[in-house]
Amino acid sequence: MKKILLACTVLIACTATGETEQAPPPDMEYSYEFVTGGVEIPWGMAWLPNGDMLITERGGKLFIYRDELIEVPSSSLPGDIYANGQGGFLDVDVHPNYAENGWIYFTYSSSSGEGEGANTALIRAKLVDDELTGIETIYKATPNTTRGQHYGSRVEFDKNGYVFFSIGDRGNRNELPQDLSKDAGKIYRLHDDGSVPADNPFVNQAGAIDAVYSYGHRNPQGMALNPATGVIWAHEHGPRGGDELNIIEPGKNYGWPVISYGINYNGTPFAEDTVREGMEQPAIYWDPSIAPSGMTFVTGDKYPHWTGNVLVGSLKFNYIEMVKLEGNEVVGTEKLLEGIGRVRSLKQAPDGTIYVGVSGQGIFKVVATPVSEE
């Protein structure tokens, strides 16, 4: 078990009106505990109402953790999973009204459609007797390509029941992210059945894909609903430097590849600028890159020093980055659980426990314990 110690020494104070401020949380010891192995690259995690944890494995597997790891028969998974490079069986999320409708949503690299290779697809299915049934394709990006990078992809529901999902630029930064008539480099919003909301920002724009919600993205591998505002946030990999955390707003252009704080991997510049009118600035960017993957907002009281902030996994540096927030403003960052490994997925369960998927190791959970006074 690895541990970190976070102490608080602020005293209770009285305001000018005589009201007593809330007492600070006690000193806490934060550690992580091993839950299960057997998942090589745990891309996504989600929970059913009965407490079962669903875990996607990028290589093309789906697991249920129910006191032990159970593999869902591969024969019940989509037959067109194209596991190459960064592609495979990717994210998972459970419908907010799962108890009534039983729908589970997945993204993966799909080889269906015309052309060699694959592109990102969003599907939904039901789980019956630990097998997927009734698979429906909600969205399939085109065209297929044999390039193995930048599929995205995360899926997230907002408070209104809309489903958001991300698709990276598929390694074609010059043609796709800024073109609203083409998939990739976008975040999409749909009704849960795949129909397009009438108020999507580009519904009435000639030639534009009406499912698109925002554009100018590189490779968003983290997305989460900010419970305080009801707004979707997403982070994305930059090139060499320039990883970004963005507040996703309808119709906004996040600039890739016209503006960026990163450079080519060979050290040469490529972006035209870092700031441009009509293009959004990130809430925060990382240089050097941390290679972000997975993210979750912390709510509840299990981790009192973390509540109200957002956690981002680092593939490159083997830790979790806590981005400290005041409203929508980033006021600082802090490294947590250093040495845990390559963080691929990160999510808070319905009971408030934070789980971490680590490449090559499996699933861990974060434990907070009050420090005893001697």
Residues with catalytic roles: 150
Q: Are 208 and 180 in contact (CB under 8 A)?
A: yes
* Residue 174, CA distances (Å) to 76, 171, 232 in order: 38, 9, 26
Q: Is 321 helix (H, G, I), strand (E, B) or coil?
A: strand
* Radius of gyration in angstroms for the set of CA atoms belonging to the chain, rounded to a whole number: 21
Residue 324, CA distances (Å) to 18, 225, 333, 346 in order? 29, 16, 6, 17
Residue 76: strand, helix, or coil: helix
Exposure letters 244-269 (e unless 16+ CB within 10 A, then b): bbbbbeeebbbbbbbbbbbbeeeeee
Structure tokens given for 124 = 């939904």
Task: Say if residues 236 and 221 touch (Cβ distance below 8 Å).
Answer: yes
Strands (E), 129-240: 131-140, 155-157, 163-167, 186-190, 212-215, 220-226, 231-236
- The Cα–Cα gap between 225 and 209 comes to 23
